[in-house]
Amino acid sequence: MTRTGPAAAAARTADAFARLHGARPDGVWSAPGRVNLIGEHTDYNDGFALPMALPQATRVAARRRDDGLLRLYSAQSGEDRTTELRVTDLVPGAVPGWARYPAGTVWALAGAGHQVGGADLYVDSDVPAGAGLSSSAALECAVAVAYDDLYGLGLPGPELARTAQRAENAFAGVPCGVMDQMASVCCTEGAALHLDSRSLEHRQVPFGLDPHGLVLLVVDTRVRHDLADGAYAALRAGCERAAGLLGLPALRDLAPGELGAALDRLPAELAPLVRHVVTENARVTEAVRLLAAGDTPALGPLLTAGHASLREDYRVSCAETDLAVDTAVAAGALGARMTGGGFGGSVIALVPAARADGVRGAVTEAFRRAGHRAPAVLRAVPSAGAARIA
């Protein structure tokens, strides 16, 4: 019988480490993937988001080394070999492929002045990569919490998240915001995380689905985005240019009541970006109010409105994500939207439990008829953030 659950996964990861590296690890650490309920493309505008952690997580078994070597292996890399690097030699741009995420995290810790050295790492994950569920942040954050313990740093969660983001921005070359890393580190079981991306203040918002007879489905469209390509960076630059033209530090500083006048002052290509960011921040505030009032079902229309804004104003959806959203809603979902950066990836749908099979079947059938690859559908349960698990 295959053992399941975090303890069994931790034991398997530790055993695999021992087979590879020839010694027991000092411990095993885990960091989850996430879905974002609402608040997309707001983090790099200093705005708000409401992510929750998934049960799917990346585990890192690790053993400290005192010779300055960093030896990296991942069960998902597709390379059956260990990458060996010297911590003091790490420089942005010098490490290709998947290893730049864990190496970048060590580089960012060292760059922040922390006394860190080498380690042997074994990575294993059940977060699908490139599916918009934030496998990159899960990998960085698992390494960050492992190093935090191995080297006795005692860093607070937001600092670990910032360091992981710095790894992704400056070392891996992906200009992401901080939401993914904050979600992976700071989320708690049963709650969504109300995040202020400027201050990194965050609050747990209880997100019960069972009491409302609801489930949250995740449809992985299997269309793999590549955030390292120019589209994401261009959107981010567009937002920064718009804020500059409006004389604001960031688009977060534009109040909904000032939106109309601001749009009149902006070039036509920037106005829709600004409209999305300002209305999306307002949707986060509204979602938090609804959850606090116990009105979880009312979240549905807000999700669908968020998707329309991403499709029409921000233009980051694609045929597959639009089809998943439209089909889910037509089959009885209370609301649905793409989640993550876009250009493919995953869709979330808030669905009455009795309709879950129907929605899953309808989306699968619609994809088949449209000639798309079969989607993977999973159920999202608000889960714990990064932690030591063995």
Q: Give the residue numbers marked as catalytic.
A: 180
Task: Confirm or reject binding of residue 82 to ligand ADP (CB under 6 A).
Answer: no
When the beta carbons of 131 and 239 are compared against ligand ADP, the nearer one is 131
Strand partners, 15: none
CA distance 156 to 350: 33
> Which has the closest alpha carbon to 220: 155, 128, 135?
128
| Least distance (Å) between residue 74 CB and ligand ADP | 3
Task: Confirm or reject binding of residue 123 to ligand ADP (CB under 6 A).
Answer: yes
Task: Confirm or reject binding of residue 17 to ligand ADP (CB under 6 A).
Answer: no
In 142-285, DSSP assigns E strands to 191-196, 202-206, 214-220
SS3 string, 225-237, reads: CCCCCHHHHHHHH
Task: Confirm or reject binding of residue 364 to Mg ion (CB under 5 A).
Answer: no
Task: Confirm or reject binding of residue 285 to ligand ADP (CB under 6 A).
Answer: no
When the beta carbons of 38 and 278 are compared against ligand ADP, the nearer one is 38
Interface residue with ligand ADP among 36, 42, 56, 136 (CB under 6 A) is 136
Task: Confirm or reject binding of residue 165 to Mg ion (CB under 5 A).
Answer: no
| Residue number, nearest CB to Mg ion | 136
Interface residue with Mg ion among 58, 74, 136, 321 (CB under 5 A) is 136
**Collapsed DSSP state (helix, strand, coil) of residue 214:** strand
Interface residue with ligand ADP among 109, 205, 227, 284 (CB under 6 A) is 227
Helix (H) or strand (E) holding 30: strand 27-36
Token duo for residue 178? 């901080």
Interface residue with ligand ADP among 12, 64, 71, 76 (CB under 6 A) is 76
- Binding piece for ligand ADP, criterion CB under 6 A, among 14-22, 127-135, 230-238, 294-302: 127-135
Residue with tokens 């699968």: 364
Task: Confirm or reject binding of residue 77 to ligand ADP (CB under 6 A).
Answer: yes
Question: In b/e form, how buried is each residue of 361-371, taking b as 16+ CB within 10 angstroms?
Answer: ebbbebbeeee
Q: Give the number of other CB atoms < 10 A from CB of residue 54.
A: 26
- Binding piece for ligand ADP, criterion CB under 6 A, among 69-77, 212-220, 372-380, 381-389: 69-77
Question: Which of the choices ligand ADP, Mg ion, none does residue 39 contact, using the CB cut-off of 5 to 8 A by kind?
Answer: none
Interface residue with ligand ADP among 92, 130, 175, 190 (CB under 6 A) is 130
- String marking each residue 20-59 x if it binds ligand ADP according to CB under 6 A: --------------------------------------x-
Q: Give the number of other CB atoms < 10 A from CB of residue 267.
A: 10
List the interface residues with ligand ADP, window 323-352 (CB under 6 A): 340
Helix, strand, coil % in the chain, rounded to nearest 5: 45, 20, 35
CA distance 170 to 149: 24
Torsion of CA 9, 156, 250, 169, to 10 degrees: -50
Q: Residue numbers of the site for Mg ion (CB under 5 A)?
A: 136
